[in-house]
Chains A and B, each alone.
Chain A
């Protein structure tokens, strides 16, 4: 059996009393003080996540932009240097290989930040579909990633000092390179929590001192448990739950990240075909109207018949209610529709709502 990998912050996590669990082949902190306390820290102050297990695949060369444009669902040629976009790598059936963020680092260079569980799969996928003049470098092992999330994120970065640009005026989906507390970083105004924040890429060797500086400046260490409750409130998809190789991005309501009109990207034809044939399911967000907790794989019923499935569910600490995401027939996917979530054989009434469940970030 393969031993679990560790991020450069493993010792720091243990020293802080983190509860560590296996995740995507890594030993990762699921919580420090508690999931609800960490969730609240992000919504009200600032939390710090070690997401160094995620992957970074760099593409460069005269063909790199064309290769990326052909492989991801979002526009790449029009993505300016210093900007980030969210997109999907899709297969020839219109399903999702992975969801990624694309960073335009230069005229002929990008990197993709990819899910930890999919790093090798994505690398093989890109390599087998790369156009001429493209070199791929997988920099996952030497790159650490810290996510600082919450309304006090900017103030904390200002406290540490950023040399090489003005992080305080950095807009959403833009990034800057410079030195944070003396450590070279690339910082983007992005995140996976629905709160304001930054994702900070640094060399593995700088991760621990940077983590300690951020915690000393007021960031609360947060684990993957809170990361999940936060992204669920923000109704953000998680690969392996809302997205997999059978789901079309349009079924997952990711239309705005898919360039269908212009696009000759890999998978576009199939996505269009499936759209034109009519989708049999769409992703919907719902709130339970009685006590109980919805969880992934629980059935969704309507009129006593099973019609769908929960893809993610759990408590919303901010709302004090149980929420979830799931695939349902399109007619039931509209806000106001009533559904039942079947929990241990019992139908619990639920109501489809607009998402995100908790306020969208504005910048």
Chain B
């Protein structure tokens, strides 16, 4: 498998999502490891702005050619933005999962939920623990 990119400035969930805290806003997407494992992404279903998401609960769906997978919220809060571009071009998740492939922005009451996620080193270990 290709080298997987794990930026140092992000936090990660065990379900292979990344999160970046900007004040009260948390930008969320799926990791390079996730998009490699999934393969070609053909459909992404995101929540509407205004919806509440709960840490650890599904907030949407990501579909590859062969499979349907849930997206899990790494933090709790209200959805303030959802990436409408992924409707037309879901493959952007494969091309730029940390950039244009972002999925939702959540307003959190308390930024410490992000701090309690895995850092890059811990996420890298989490990937290794699951590898063959």
Tell me how many residues of A have a C-beta within 8 Å of chain B. 17
Among the stretches A29-37, A74-82, A92-100, A160-168, the one at the interface with B is A29-37
In the complex, A291→B63 CA distance in Å?
12
Among the stretches B18-26, B38-46, B73-81, B110-118, the one at the interface with A is B38-46
Report the nearest A residue to B67, measured CB to CB.
Answer: A295
Taking a contact as CB atoms under 8 Å apart, the answer to whether A229 and B65 are in contact is yes
Q: Mark A279-299, 1 if CB is under 8 A from B, else 0.
A: 000000000000111010000
Taking a contact as CB atoms under 8 Å apart, the answer to whether A295 and B65 are in contact is no
Taking a contact as CB atoms under 8 Å apart, the answer to whether B40 and A36 are in contact is yes
In the complex, A40→B61 CA distance in Å?
26
Report the nearest A residue to B88, measured CB to CB.
Answer: A291
Taking a contact as CB atoms under 8 Å apart, the answer to whether B61 and A315 are in contact is no
Taking a contact as CB atoms under 8 Å apart, the answer to whether B1 and A17 are in contact is yes
User: Can you report 24 A-B residue pairs in the complex whose CB atoms are below 8 A from each other?
Assistant: A17-B1, A31-B39, A34-B39, A34-B40, A35-B39, A35-B40, A35-B65, A35-B66, A36-B65, A225-B39, A225-B65, A229-B65, A291-B87, A292-B43, A293-B42, A293-B43, A293-B68, A295-B68, A314-B65, A314-B66, A315-B42, A315-B65, A322-B42, A344-B61
Chain B interface, DSSP helix/strand/loop, else mixed: mixed
A99 to chain B, nearest CB (A): 22
Q: Mark B52-75, 1 if CB is under 8 A from A, else 0.
A: 000000000101011010000000
A233 to chain B, nearest CB (A): 13
Report the nearest A residue to B40, measured CB to CB.
Answer: A36
A349 to chain B, nearest CB (A): 16
In the complex, A295→B1 CA distance in Å?
27
Chain B residues with CB below 8 A from A35, complex form: 39-40, 65-66
Residues on B facing A (Cβ under 8 Å): 1, 39-40, 42-43, 61, 63, 65-66, 68, 87
B90 to chain A, nearest CB (A): 9
Interface centre among B40, B61, B63 (most CB of A within 10 A): B40
Q: Mark A1-38, 1 if CB is under 8 A from B, else 0.
A: 00000000000000001000000000000110011100
Chain A residues with CB below 8 A from B42, complex form: 293, 314-315, 322
Report the nearest B residue to A344, measured CB to CB.
Answer: B61
Chain B residues with CB below 8 A from A36, complex form: 40, 65
Report the nearest A residue to B68, measured CB to CB.
Answer: A295
Taking a contact as CB atoms under 8 Å apart, the answer to whether B66 and A225 are in contact is yes
Report the nearest B residue to A315, measured CB to CB.
Answer: B42
In the complex, A160→B1 CA distance in Å?
31
Report the nearest A residue to B44, measured CB to CB.
Answer: A291
Q: Mark A302-345, 1 if CB is under 8 A from B, else 0.
A: 00000000000011000000100000000000000000000010
